[in-house]
Amino acid sequence: MKKLIIAALGLSIAALAQAESQQSLAVSTWDFDAISDSHTTCQHNSMVEDKAGNLCLPSTTDTQRLTLMNKTTLELVVVKLPDTALAGPPISSTDSRYLYMTSRDGWVVKYDLQTGQPIVKIRAGLESAGSVISGDNRFLLVGNRKPADLVLLHTDDLSVARIIPVANRKGIMSPVAAVGNAGDSHGFIAALEDFPQLWKISYLDPAPIGFGDGWNHDYRCIKEHVKKGLFPVKRLTISHALTEFHIDDAHEFLVGTNKAGNGIIMDLDLSRIVGQPKIPAVNSSMFWRADQGSHLGVVEKDKTAIIIYSNVKNPQRWQQSARISLGPITTLASCPQTPVIWAGVEDGAIHLIDKQTLVVTKRLYLTQKGRINQITCSKDGAHMLLEITGEQTEMVALDRQTQKEVKRLIVE
C-alpha cells in the first residue's frame, strides 16, 4: 500500500511538473501586443563614407563588440554588441548592408553597417534559441524556448508578421532548439527540442505545393496583420529530436545531431533521412560535391580527424568513405569557388585538402604562437579571412587562389 501511495505521489508530482513546464513554455502574456510594445526605434546616426555591400562578416567577438572586415578595403569595423549573450551568430542581409543580432533573452537588434549603429530593436521572446533571415531578405525567423513559438518579423522595421505556437497535435508544446534557412523551395527549418520533428515554414506567397498540413491557426496574432495562408508549416517526422543542424549551400541536404551525438543526414527534396552517422557537432561540418556525388565532412569528437561521408555508391544511402587525420582541429572552411577544404589546427597550421582526392596538398603557417580560431570565405570569394588568437588577436586576409597574405590587422 505504501509503495502504491509513493508511486501515485510520484506520478502526481511528475504530472504537476509537466503542467508547470507547459504553462512556462506558453507564457501567454508575451504575445503580439507585448512584443509590439517592446519595439524601439534607435537614435538616427549620420552616415559614413562607405558603399553598401562592402562589409563581410568573418569576425571576432568578445563580450562587448563585434569586429568586421571590409571586403574591399580590408579595414576593420567595430559594432557594439547587446548587453546579453547572443543566441547564435550575427546574420547579415544579402548585400551585407544590415546586420541582425538576437540575444538569448529574446532581443533582436538591426544594425546599419555603414554606421556600425543600431537602427531598431524588438523583444521577440523571453528566451531565444536563434534567428535566421529568409532568402529574399524580407523576413526574420526567431525561434524561442520561452514562449515555445516561432516569431516572424519584417526585416525592414522588425514589426511582427506572424507568431506560430510550437505544439504537437495533442497540444503539448516544445521549445525550439534551432532554426535555419533552406532556400525558397524549402523555406525556414526549425528543430524542436522535445519532439522528433523538423518543421518547414514557407516564406513565399503563394507557398510551394506540398506546404501546410492544414492551415495553421495563430490565436495570438491580430488577424489584420496576417495574410491568410502565409507561412504554412510542413511537419517532418524524424528518428529523434535534434539540438542543432546545418544546411548545405545548395539547400539539398541537412545534417543534424543531438547531445548524444546521434546524427541524421536528410535529403530535403525527398524529405527523407538518408544517413544516420555519429556526429558530435555540426558547427565544423561542411557539404560539397565531387566525384559524381555529394560529400559531408565532420570533425571527430576528439577533434583529431575529419570523417568523410558520401553518397557516391548509392544516392539514397550515405556511408563513411574516408578519414583524414590532422591533429587537434580548430576550424573547417571552404567556399563554392574553391576546390579545397581549409582546416586550421591547434599548432597554427592550415591544411589545404583537395575535395576530389581528399589528400592534403599544402600546408600554410601564418603564426608561430597563435591558434587558428576561425576561417571564412568572403562573400565574393576573392579572399579567405582568418582570425588568429594568441598574445593578440589578428585578422588576416589571404588571396583565395594564391594563398598569399594580402593584409594582417591587429584587433585591439
178-203 residue pLDDT tens: 999 999 999 999 999 999 999 999 99
Q: What is the pLDDT of residue 23?
A: 56
In whole angstroms, give the CA distance from residue 148 to residue 142.
11
Comparing CA positions, the residue from 254, 145, 161 lying closest to residue 202 is 161
Q: What range does the domain containing 399 cover?
A: 330-412
The answer on pLDDT for 132 being more than 90 is: yes
Instruction: Count Cα neighbours of 158 within 13 Å in the Cβ-side half-sphere.
Output: 29
The reply to whether 82 and 228 lie within a common domain is: yes
Confidence bin at 28 (pLDDT 50/70/90): low
Q: Please report whether residue 275 resides in a domain.
A: no
Residues 6+ positions from 115 with CB-CB distance below 8 Å: 45, 46, 47, 48
Compute the average pLDDT of residues 93-122.
Answer: 89
Domain final position from 237, 272, 300: 237
Which residue, 237, 259, 283, sits at the end of a domain? 237
Compute and round to an integer the Cα radius of gyration of the chain.
23
Beta bridge partners of 395: 387, 409
Q: Which cell is 144 given?
A: 524561442
Q: Indicate if 197 and 343 belong to the same structural domain.
A: no
- Give the model's pLDDT for residue 53: 45
Q: What are phi and psi of 17, to 5 degrees?
A: -65, -40
Phi and psi, residue 3, nearest 5°: -65, -40
pLDDT at 34 over 90: yes
In a domain, 98, yes or no: yes
**Total tally of structural domains belonging to the chain:** 2
| 216 has a pLDDT exceeding 80 | no
Q: What is the mean pLDDT of residues 14-41?
A: 71
> What CA–CA distances, in Å, run from 323 to 262, 318, 320, 355, 397?
19, 15, 8, 13, 29
The band of 96, judged by pLDDT with boundaries at 50, 70 and 90, is confident
State yes or no: pLDDT of 151 exceeds 50. yes
**Backbone angles phi and psi of 278, in degrees to 5:** -80, 125
Q: Is the pLDDT of residue 363 over 60?
A: yes
The least confident of 40-54, 182-196, 285-299, 398-412 is: 40-54
Residue 399 within a domain: yes
Does residue 213 belong to any structural domain of this protein? Answer: yes
Confidence category of residue 217, pLDDT binned at 50, 70, 90: very low
Give yes or no for residue 250 having a pLDDT over 80.
yes
CATH number, domain containing residue 349: 2.40.10.480
Q: Residue 52 — very low, low, confident or very high, per pLDDT cuts 50/70/90?
A: very low
**Residue where one domain finishes, among candidates 211, 237, 263:** 237
CB 153 within 8 A of CB 121: no
CATH of residue 120's domain is: 2.140.10.20
State what percent of residues in the chain have pLDDT above 70: 83
81 and 184 assigned to the same domain:
yes
Task: Out of 139-153, 241-255, 373-387, pick the least confident.
Answer: 373-387
- 203 with 68, same domain? yes
Listed in sequence order, the residues at least 6 apart from 331 whose beta carbon sits closer than 8 Å to its beta carbon are 284, 343, 344, 372, 373, 374, 375
Instruction: Report the distance separating Cα 98 and Cα 112, nearest Å.
Output: 5
Specify the range with the lowest mean pLDDT, choosing from 119-133, 154-168, 373-387.
373-387
Q: How confident is the model at residue 176 (pLDDT cuts 50, 70, 90)?
A: very high
User: Which residue would you say has higher pLDDT here, 64 or 362?
Assistant: 362
Q: Is 13 inside a domain boundary?
A: no
Classify residue 34: in a domain, yes or no. yes
47 and 159 belong to one structural domain: yes
pLDDT greater than 70 at residue 7: no
**Do 168 and 50 reside in the same domain of the chain?**
yes
pLDDT higher than 80, residue 134 = yes
- In this structure, is residue 317 part of a structural domain? no
In a domain, 282, yes or no: no
